[in-house]
Chain A
Amino acid sequence: MLVGDLMDRDLTSLGEDATLMEAIEVLSRHRIPGLPIVDAEGRVVGFLSEKDIVRAALPGYIDLLEDPSYVPDMGQFKVRMKRASMDSVGRHMTKEVVCLSTNDSDFHAALIMIKKNLKRAPVVKEGILVGVVNRADIIEHLMSE
């Protein structure tokens, strides 16, 4: 089966100029772990996950630490999160997005998602967002066969 046949044809996304606050609200209301970031024509230019949002509130040296106990306490984290909430999505999104094509096979999609440890990946046709594939969609599809 092709990705175009098993994807969720949902176009929930935000523009680069949206704030992190807006992104948090969309993720929460839509109950999704991440969303594609698109330009004015719907072309995918990035992807923002919950992880990217958390990272926005953490100090820059976090990647250098082996032990997360050095991370500031929850109070400081909240302050930093509030400060970051007015930042643009474009500043914190992942710019090198793994996109699937509607013509990719289900096997290719499964391999990519496992290899890159993705829960959700945008699906594009000629660069334009046409849907998303969730790991759960692939598992549901495999089980129904």
Chain B
Amino acid sequence: MDKTIVTVTMNPAVDIQYVVPDFRPGRWFRASEVDRSAGGKGINVSIILQQLGYESAAMGFLAGFSGEYIRDTLRRLKLTTNFVNVIGESRTDVYIVDEVGHIETGVAEAGPYISDEALHRFMKNFDRILSRARLVYLGGSLPPGVPQDAYKDLILRCKEAKVPVFVDAFGPALTAALEGVPKVVKFDHRFLFSTLGYPMGDLDDVLELVSKIHDSGVEWSVTTYRAVGNIFYTPEGIYLVDIEREVKEQMVSLLAIGDALMAGLMVALLEDMDVEKAIRFAQACSLEDTLHVKKGIRGRDMVESLMPKILVEKLD
């Protein structure tokens, strides 16, 4: 049987995007457009992988009405799921997109409490699916009750099964995950600077931090650079990546752009693309996601048409 990609979303959410032109706090507005979707980093990655033609299995915890909405949405999308249902309510995250001011505002909830029994059941499911996994993605926040080193635990299980791991996290969950040494890690350097107590610095400081992560054995790391660009630390060197200015002006929403990037990078590495092509492909996935309100990408051909718009500079 073919091996599958596994995505883990410990704390899924219903993402609601309201498009409110000229939004300002303290007033009532009527949304000109609403997009409601199943979300959380791993779930977003699963959806985008499907749009790129790859099957995956989404795992994690679901609770309450929001949990039922998420499961039903994924069922209708014909995605493989293996969630543990718990008491409480899965998160609802609200994003307000202001197309006039080009500003996005967001409010996120904490998520349901996860008991030891539920976590134990999840781990059993994870071990079971690991026997037929080709790649594992761990992403997003940890809900209350889940230990901060849960990602490290999962990474070590993957290593034992010789399955590469991609991680996109922040705060203590990320620092613990780094101890497990995943293959690829994506992070917002501002969170890591504050978590590790580093002073917020310039590009050189970011590069020093990324180099340290790389030296610990992480093969690829990606961190944000300017608003929508990224720094890619790869086995073949460091790359600064940006987007052509004229395309930047067409951006509408930043929701899930990091997830699109990670899904693109997974596909690129599974297809053995060379480093520079892999970077272009991953960044083009992210760019495509920004060009419309609806989360996700509109197809692989759209992504490939955007690859020439990605500016890649290799640093000495």
- Over the window 23-56 of chain A, the binary record of Cβ atoms lying under 8 Å from chain B Cβ atoms (1 yes, 0 no) is 0001001100000001011100000000000000
Instruction: Name the one of B80, B83, B124, B132 contacting A131, with C-beta atoms under 8 angstroms.
Output: B80
Instruction: Tell me, yes or no, whether A104 is within 8 Å of chain B by CB.
Output: no
Query: A6-14, A58-66, A71-79, A110-118: which lies at the B interface?
Result: A6-14
Given contacts A22-B121, A128-B1, contact A10 B128 (CB under 8 A): no
Please indicate the chain A residues that have their CB under 8 angstroms from the CB of B1 in the complex. Answer: 125-126, 128
* Contact among B78, B80, B86, B132 for A41, CB-based, below 8 A: B132
- Which of A9, A15, A26, A128: most chain B Cβ within 10 A? A9
Is B75 interfacial (CB 8 A cutoff)?
A: yes
Q: Which B residues are CB-close (under 8 A) to A26? A: 85, 121
Q: Is B131 an interface residue (CB 8 A)?
A: yes
Given the interface pairs A9-B80, A10-B75, A126-B1, the reply to whether A15 lies near B132 with Cβ below 8 Å is: no
Q: Is the pair A10, B81 in contact by a Cβ cutoff of 8 Å?
A: yes
A77: min CB distance to chain B, Å: 25
User: In the complex, A126→B132 CA distance in Å?
Assistant: 12
Q: Is the CB of A9 within 8 A of B75?
A: yes
The answer to whether A9 touches B131 (Cβ under 8 A) is: no
Is the CB–CB distance between A9 and B128 below 8 Å? no
Interface status of B155 (Cβ within 8 A of chain A) = no
CB of B254 within 8 Å of the partner chain: no
Within B50-101, the residues touching A (CB, 8 Å) are 57, 71, 75, 78-83, 85-87
Does A130 lie at the interface of the complex (its beta carbon under 8 Å from any beta carbon of B)?
yes
Q: How large is the interface on B (under 10, 10 to 19, 20 to 34, 35 or more residues)?
A: 20 to 34
| Residues A15 and B82 in contact, CB atoms below 8 Å apart | no
Q: By DSSP majority rule, is chain A's interface helix, strand, loop, or mixed?
A: mixed
* Bound CA–CA A55/B81 (angstroms): 30
Q: How far is the CB of A81 from chain B (nearest CB, A)?
A: 19
In whole Å, how far is A42's beta carbon from the nearest beta carbon of chain B?
5
CB contact under 8 A between A11 and B81, given known A40-B127, A126-B1:
yes
CB distance from B14 to the nearest CB of A (A): 18
Q: Which residues of B contact A130 (CB under 8 A)?
A: 80
Return the contact of B78 from the options A9, A22, A40 (Cβ within 8 A): A9
Identify which of B81, B117, B131 contacts A42 (C-beta below 8 A): B131
Question: Which chain B residues border A40 with CB–CB below 8 Å?
Answer: 127-128, 131
> C-beta contact mask, B112-146 vs A, less than 8 Å → 1, else 0?
00000100010011011101100000000000000
14 A-B pairs, CB-CB below 8 angstroms?
A9-B78, A10-B80, A10-B82, A11-B57, A11-B81, A11-B82, A11-B125, A26-B85, A29-B87, A40-B127, A42-B129, A42-B131, A125-B1, A130-B80
The 7 closest A-B pairs by CB, nearest first: A29-B85, A11-B82, A9-B80, A126-B1, A41-B131, A10-B81, A30-B85
- Which B residues lie at the A interface, using CB under 8 A? 1, 57, 71, 75, 78-83, 85-87, 117, 121, 124-125, 127-129, 131-132
New contact pairs (20) apart from A8-B75, A10-B82, A128-B1, CB-CB < 8 Å:
A9-B79, A10-B75, A10-B80, A10-B81, A11-B82, A11-B125, A12-B83, A15-B124, A22-B117, A26-B85, A29-B86, A40-B127, A40-B131, A41-B128, A41-B132, A42-B131, A125-B1, A126-B1, A128-B132, A131-B80
